[in-house]
Structure 1
Amino acid sequence: MDKQPDLNAPLQQFLDHLAQHRRLSQHTVTSYQRDCQQLSRWCQQQKITHWQRLKPVELRQFVSGLHRQGLSARTIHRLLSAVRSFYRYLIQISLVDHNPAQSVQAPKTEKRLPKTFDVDQVSALLDLTPDTTFVACRDRAIMELFYSSGLRLAELAALDLQDVDFAEQQLWVHEGKGGKDRILPMGSKAIAALKNWLDKREQQRLITSTALFITQQGRRLGVRSIQQRLAYWGKKHGLSQHVHPHRLRHAFASHMLESSGDLRAVQELLGHADISTTQIYTHVDFNHLAKVYDSAHPRAKKRDRS
């Protein structure tokens, strides 16, 4: 038990570094903490009392054990990524001289495509939502903005009035995932919905709050409330799929890629640090691909049948 701090103290130092210096969100820091603590507990069971003593072969045993317990390849991949980051930090502060996770691979993951809406489903959701009442007008603007700009839930909830620039038809996202700012374009439908919302809000004399989206009491609308409102409209309009913010972000990414094919541009709009994250949105209906192939490839064009 006296050796336990040799594992726990550096881990806590790493978590503090993530929160204070890299300014990662609390959710992300908690995820790193959960994964690294799982390894720490296993090391203690194996009588490994210092991070320097963990070898790649032992880490592979740990990963194999997780796989046998039924953990998904995706979860193990995430855990190994956290461990690699942890060891990079330990090397940086000269506590260890190697990274045992560098050569350890997670089991192959089955690529799951994110469920998304097609254009007609999104249009039905947005066009059928009225903009007459205070709440409906606000909800319509929220959904239009999700689909127009591909925002994350936390990013939309954090928007302030000053972040919207109608003249330039753009909005500012401050400290998105990874603490990065970015500027996003807004479509004409989203701009119109936002202007309607701000007019409705002014009619209610709710002009003191700096938040862009507020409750009828003038408080900033929270992430849970936004989720509930989108689910409400999805059920009301009879959509077969559950409507939640990330699904509208998926729709934004998928439809942009299908129309433009510009992976780098969509990566920037989504705020992805790694382009491989954006690549999961490159799925296109096979029938569409077949039509493009038939019409474009010089040796694949279908001949007229006589």
Structure 2
Amino acid sequence: MDKFINWLREEGRSSGTIKTYLQVEQFQKWWVEEKAADSFDPEEVTALDLQDYKQYLIQHARNKRGGRLAAATVNKLLQVIRTYFKFLTETGAISHNPALKIKSQKIQNRHSSVRWLEDKEKIRLLRKINNPEGAKNTWHYIRNKAMVYTFLMGGLRVSELADLIILDVDLAKRRLTVHDGKGGKERDIPINDDLFQALSEWLDIRKQSPGEIVFPSQKKGKFTLQGIEHVVGKIGEQLGLEDFTPHVLRHTFCHDLIIKGYPLQVVAELAGHEDLNTTRIYTMPGEKETKKAVNSLSLGDSF
């Protein structure tokens, strides 16, 4: 695993991505148990073994709440497998790659993997974060408000927000720069009026040197990804919103742009998507639209 980690670093993968790829240990444990082997031997893994593991993930594996894994989660774990066996093949640890034919699980609709805020939910959120009444700590309130706006109006990933430094936020040019996005890509994101106001208010009380991170934790150090998710999750709890995460805010950013009629290429550029198919998921109907369609099928007029 140490060699795998070093290989991932040489490939330019971020620490967050590397942590995800270490989930290959779940597959190793499953294989040992299935084969009743003394230890994991990658040379003995076959394409059929990987197909069996895929079915295990789809049918038997459970998430923390005891439910089945979402198709997107299954596909992430399968990508972990592909990357791991690519590493083993390239480094000569195995003579053939059994993961070449393993395909992702097809996602029929967005409900299994992607959630964005409906209009009523977004209104509730904006009312909440723009109302300082009851805030115990002004510094925390203004920081958290700016974080939410950066996700909602900038579409950043959690890791991208955590890595932002003050030099990346150019209020004069109204531009926010992500230097190390997914795949190591850099992109510029225009700052609209709402985000400008939130960031201006925050940076005015932040008052640190240009090289400092934009959003520090309570201890004034760099936020962990889990720490950011905790802050956003707490806001969701106060609003009574389920599955409220930074990624939901990012999805809302992408979905709202699509709804306003902007081309896929524009949304993909702003979100840092490498594949237009990733962006295309936001063109699918939401839960509200599908419920409305089904509820319109009334048999009352037939009698």
**SS at 1:183 equivalent:** strand
Counterpart of 1:135 in structure 2: which amino acid? H
**One-letter amino acid of the counterpart of residue 56, structure 1:** A
Could you tell me how far 1:108 is from its partner in structure 2? 4.6
Amino acid at match of 1:259: K
Partner of 1:304: none
Distance 1:279 1:110 in 2: 13
Q: What stretches of structure 1 of length at least 5 have no aligned partner?
A: 1-10, 290-306
Residue in 2 that maps onto 1:172: 177
1:145 and 2:150 aligned: yes
Corresponding residue for residue 3 of structure 1: none
CA distance in 2, matches of 1:141, 1:106: 36
| Corresponding letter in the other structure for 2:90 | Q
| Cα RMSD for the two superposed structures | 3.5
Q: CA 1:33 to 1:199, structure 2 compared with 1: closer, same or farther past 3 Å? A: closer
Q: Is the 8 A contact 1:73 1:109 kept in 2?
A: no
| 1:268 aligned partner | 269
Q: Does 1:191 align with 2:192?
A: no
AA aligned opposite 1:186:
I
Contact 1:150 1:252 (C-alpha < 8 Å) held by counterparts: yes
Distance in 2 between residues matched to 1:131 and 1:271, nearest whole Å: 33
| Residues 159, 173 of structure 1: 8 Å contact kept | yes
What is the aligned residue count?
Answer: 274
Identity %: 28
Cα distance in 1, alignment partners of residues 218 and 198 from structure 2: 18
Letter in 1 for 2:118: D
Structure 2 residues without counterparts, runs of 5 or longer: 63-68, 291-303
For each residue in 1:209-235, what CA deviation from the matched residue of structure 2 results, as whole angstroms up to 9, or x when unmatched? 822224676544554454444344445
Q: CA deviation at 1:279?
A: 2.7
Q: Are 2:62 and 1:57 equivalent residues in the alignment?
A: no
Match of residue 35, structure 1, among 24, 29, 37: 24
Note if 1:255 corresponds to 2:245.
Answer: no
Asked if the contact 1:171/1:186 (under 8 Å) is kept, the reply is yes
Kept after mapping to 2: 8 A contact 1:209/1:219: no
Greater CA deviation, 28-37 or 206-215? Answer: 206-215
User: 2:85: which partner in 1?
Assistant: 87
Q: Which has the larger radius of gyration?
A: 1
Amino acid at match of 1:160: I
Q: 1:88 to 1:258 in 2, by over 3 A?
A: same
Q: Match for 1:103 among 101, 109, 115?
A: 101
State the Cα deviation string for residues 165-197 of structure 1 (Å, max 9, x = none).
Answer: 112211111223333332211111111121122
CA contact (8 A) 2:16 2:159 kept: no
For residues 166 and 183 of structure 2, what CA distance do their matches in structure 1 show?
23
Distance 2:268 2:101 in 1: 28
- Partners of 1:83 and 1:101 within 8 A in 2: yes
CA distance in 2, matches of 1:110, 1:149: 28
What residue is the counterpart of 1:26 in the other structure? 15
User: Scaled by the length of structure 1, what TM-score is found?
Assistant: 0.72
Instruction: Output the amino acid matched with 1:28.
Output: T
**TM-score, normalised by the number of residues in structure 2:** 0.73
2:3 pairs with 1:13: yes
After superposition, the Cα gap between the structure-2 partners of 1:164 and 1:41, relative to the gap in structure 1 and judged at 3 Å, is same
